[in-house]
Structure 1
Amino acid sequence: MKTLGETLRLAREEKEMILRKVAAEVDIDQSLISKFEKNERKPTKEQIVRLANFYELSEEKLIINWYSEKIADELKYTESTSEILKVAEEKINYYKAQENGK
């Protein structure tokens, strides 16, 4: 399983592009992209969308990877992660049902 940073770095390397060129094309600072690739910093959702489009990656898969890393990072030292995720999913379904029932 690749991290988000590894996925972004590999996509850039496959296009044989240097960070400076990618930064200019997607309007994201070069040092930020470097930190994303090293997993030192997380991009925003908007930045993920721009990078997905630029690298011609699945936007949906990249966003799933992004969200899952945010959740995993938050829960990595927590006990009962399976139960937390189960309850969170139930709450999400409840919230969606509430919105649909308005």
Structure 2
Amino acid sequence: MTVRGTLAATATVAATALLAPSAAADPVVPEHAIIVCQSATMYTNYDSASGPVGPKRVLGHGNKVGHTRGAHPVYNGWAAMFDFGPNDWGFVRYECLGGWGSW
């Protein structure tokens, strides 16, 4: 291969790498849902050894939240969720999430 051919091949590979989408750059937007329980405590984190950690606040029925089924984790019935009110993440009981796509 000539120097010109090598440079052309290198440029093609570099251009392809720059145009290819990155999996890390594609965040998963939470699917709209609501709290369907009368109240649900939102926790800061979930520890596999001890369960939910750091209660943040209590969410009431109808609070607008998000969780993307199949993409966001659920550990022993505790789902990673996003509270659209104050715009923060936490964990809540999965059975308290419902009304998928209702808003």
Structure with larger Rg: 2
| Higher share in helix | 1
Specify which structure has the bigger relative contact order, considering alpha-carbon pairs within 8 angstroms and separated by 6 or more residues: 2
| TM more than 0.5 | no
Q: TM-score, normalised by structure 1?
A: 0.23
More strand by share: 2
Question: TM-score, length-normalised on structure 2?
Answer: 0.23
